[in-house]
A and B are shown apart, each in its own frame.
Chain A
Amino acid sequence: MIVAERKPIKEILAMVADFKKILLVGCKGCVTVCNAGGTKEVGILASALKIARKKEGNPIEIDEMTLERQCDPEYIDQLEEPLKNNNYDAVLSMACSVGPQFIARRYDNILVYPTLNTCFMGGALEHGVWAEFCQGCGNCIIHHFGGLCPIARCSKSLMNGPCGGSAGGKCEVSPDIDCVWHLIYDRMKQLGKLDQLREIFPIKDWSTSRDGGPRKIVREDLKK
């Protein structure tokens, strides 16, 4: 899933400093799963903003709403009525950055703000801990590395083994980062496939990654 985390409250307060009435929109997709922007987090953020503004003697009115997803036009359409019937100063999205962009794309007369920082594609290691697992390079090669991704998980995206800074299973960048090359080595050893790591992994074609420009997938079989 897309893993995101909420921006600091101060930053969000600064965004809405000039507003009296806003719509805060959550998303029931990835950001609900990673506890960043679901119905619950929408409620918490709305309360926090209202309390802070009340303290300042400058109250703000906030309507709350959570869409099924913010990365599909059909759900974004559900904002049409509330936007028409209310005089919002802005919409604040609690989705990953796709959400606010979809809202902006659909409604050209309302200001849109992100309240989350979209961080990475990853998963939960344990309750409350998420880690990056994929960089979306557009050409998956993890089967060459025991099913682990050195592009996303090695700090230097090395494809041919650990750098000299790998120590005690940890990356030189931080003791909080596992050296993925150590993990790859251990796993390939376990699988009896160490020979594969002896082969030089060739230079990667990054044109399928963001380096080839913004990407689009067109499935003719699904298009109407």
Chain B
Amino acid sequence: MKAGSRLEKILEAGHFAVTGELGPPRGADAEVIKKKAEHLRNKVDSINVTDNQTSVVRMCSMAVCKILIEMGLEPNLQMVCRDRNRIAIQSDLLGAYALGIRNVLCLSGDHNKFGDHPQCKNVFDLDSMQLIATVKRMRDEGKLLSDQELEGGVKFFIGAAANPFGDPFEFRVTRLAKKIEAGVDFIQTQCIYNMEKFKTWLDQANDEGLTEKCYILAGVTPLKSVGMARYMQKFVPGLDVPEEYITRLKGVEKKKQAAEGIKICVEQIEQLREMKGVAGVHLMAIEWEHKVPEITEAAKLLPRPEVD
């Protein structure tokens, strides 16, 4: 065991893991978080807390993680390189561990251009690969980047993202291999819609033995409507939404599109579960946390296994 988090134990035991996601509020009301998080209780093994996603200012990820811990839930702290230099990153990691956070997801971060403060100065002192290596160094060598020995180490279960749909496609498995070499323990992928392309990526990863070196959690996001599907298809770079799903959503009356979207998501989870090399799913029900019980139930992911 590297960190002994619930997520790590689930994966180590060979269970098909389920992680959820919670986006912090644009305000300081802890009740909003508690309400969202309750929908995820006993439905997922751990909960990603996003770090000012899309570069929009929200309550800080670490504070939300602490609230989840107090609720008896397990958080995955998302940490981006956009807003912190190596001093702040290492400092935050020490603080996160002291607060009981055991899973950390290392990300470059969405560019500030997309957010609510496009005028800001960005950082990118490290990239996501170097962030992974930094966390690993702190964990395994007990040292900061400066070689300063830590008084009291950090035992994190280290995660990172992978986008099988970004270009150049041929480099995507290489990038996964690099993240593993840098020290990643688990990967959560970008939302998958193009199952064939994902399969091609996964086959390559399997061929290179990469899926044996880290746990791959396949990312899924239920489509709420034709509008959302079209938006993701056209405007979210690095997302690949095949026309077939849009046709399916269009085929039902507007009121039933959400239900159809959930049906698609459940089918995807069932297909992903059958794929060699997929250790779990990362269910990103964006501002739709209350649908997680229904989706996990329908996808036969409940009850979540017990681990100690």
Q: Is the interface of A mostly helix, strand, loop or mixed?
A: loop
With an 8 Å Cβ cutoff, the count of chain B residues facing the other chain is 38
Residue on A with the closest CB to B164? A164
A203 neighbours in B (Cβ, 8 Å): 86, 126, 130, 133-134, 145
Given contacts A158-B108, A163-B166, A164-B190, contact A202 B171 (CB under 8 A): no
Are A162 and B111 in touch, CB under 8 angstroms?
Answer: no
A136 at the interface (CB under 8 A from B): no
Find chain B residues with CB under 8 A from A172 CB. 111, 114, 237-238
A169 at the B interface (CB under 8 A): yes
Q: Cβ of B125 and Cβ of A164 under 8 Å apart?
A: no
Partner of B127, one of A157, A174, A185: A157
Q: Closest CB of chain A to B32's CB: distance in Å?
A: 28
B175 at the interface (CB under 8 A from A): yes
Shortest beta-carbon distance from B207 to chain A in Å: 15
Closest-by-CB residue of A relative to B167 is: A166
Q: Are B168's CB and A166's CB within 8 A? A: yes
A162 to B126, Cβ gap below 8 A? no
| CB pair A168 B130 closer than 8 Å | no
Q: A155 to B111, Cβ gap below 8 A?
A: yes
Question: Interface readout for B141-152 with A: 1 if CB under 8 Å, 0 if not?
Answer: 000010000000
Within 8 A of B (CB), among A172-186: 172-174, 179, 181-182, 185-186
Which residues of the other chain, B, contact A174 by a CB distance below 8 angstroms? 113
Q: Which of B111, B129, B161, B170 contacts A159 (CB 8 A)?
A: B129
A148 to chain B, nearest CB (A): 14
Contact B238 A165 (CB under 8 A): yes
A163, A168, A182, A198: which contacts B174 (Cβ < 8 A)?
A198
Q: Does A161 contact B (CB under 8 A)?
A: yes
B178 interface residue (CB < 8 Å to A): yes
B124 at the interface (CB under 8 A from A): yes
Enumerate B185-233 residues with CB–CB distance to A below 8 Å: 190
Q: A167 in the interface, Cβ–Cβ < 8 Å? A: yes
* CB neighbours of A162 from chain B (8 A): 166-168, 171, 175
Q: How far apart are the CA atoms of A157 and B82 in the complex, in Å? A: 10
B67 at the interface (CB under 8 A from A): no
Interface residues of B in 111-169 (CB under 8 A from A): 111, 113-114, 122, 124-130, 133-134, 145, 161-163, 165-168
CB-CB contacts below 8 Å: A124-177 with B? 155-170, 172-174
Measured between C-beta atoms, what is the minimum distance from B236 to chain A in Å?
Answer: 9
Is A217 on the interface with B (CB-CB < 8 A)? Answer: no
Known interface pairs A155-B113, A200-B178; A161-B129 also in contact (CB < 8 Å)? yes
Cβ of B177 under 8 Å from chain A:
yes
Complex contact A161–B238 (CB within 8 A):
no
Residues 190 to 205 of chain A near chain B (Cβ within 8 Å): 194, 197-198, 200-203
CA distance A46 to B111 in the complex (A): 40
CB pair A197–B111 under 8 Å, yes or no, is no
Q: Which residues of B contact A161 (CB under 8 A)?
A: 129, 171, 174-175, 178
The answer to whether B168 and A160 have CB atoms under 8 Å apart is no
* Contacting residues, chain B, for A155 (C-beta < 8 A): 111, 113
B182 beta carbon closer than 8 Å to chain A: yes
Kindly state the separation between the CA atoms of A194 and B191 in the bound complex, as whole angstroms.
27
> Are A173 and B166 interface neighbours, CB within 8 A?
no
**Residues of A with C-beta under 8 A to B237:** 164-167, 170, 172
Is B129 within 8 A of A160, CB to CB?
Answer: yes
Cβ-defined contact, A164 with B127, below 8 A: no
A179 to chain B, nearest CB (A): 7
CB closest residue in chain B, given A199: B178
For B131, the closest partner residue in chain A by CB is A203
B82, B162, B168: the one contacting A156 at CB < 8 Å is: B82
Tell me the complex Cα distance, A109–B167, Å: 57
* CA A158 to CA B129, docked complex, whole Å: 9
Complex alpha-carbon distance, A161 and B81, angstroms: 15
Given A181-B171, A201-B129, A203-B130, 20 additional A-B pairs, CB 8 A: A155-B111, A156-B122, A159-B127, A160-B128, A160-B175, A161-B129, A162-B166, A164-B161, A164-B190, A165-B237, A165-B238, A169-B167, A172-B111, A185-B168, A198-B174, A200-B178, A200-B182, A201-B130, A202-B130, A203-B133
Q: What are 21 residue pairs bridging A and B, where the CB atoms are less than 8 Å apart in the complex?
A: A156-B108, A158-B124, A160-B127, A160-B128, A160-B130, A160-B178, A161-B129, A161-B171, A163-B163, A164-B162, A164-B165, A165-B111, A167-B237, A168-B167, A172-B114, A172-B237, A172-B238, A185-B170, A198-B174, A200-B130, A203-B86
Chain A interface residues toward B at CB < 8 A? 155-170, 172-174, 179, 181-182, 185-186, 194, 197-198, 200-203, 206
Interface of B toward A, CB cutoff 8 Å: 81-82, 86, 108-111, 113-114, 122, 124-130, 133-134, 145, 161-163, 165-168, 170-171, 174-175, 177-178, 181-182, 190, 237-238
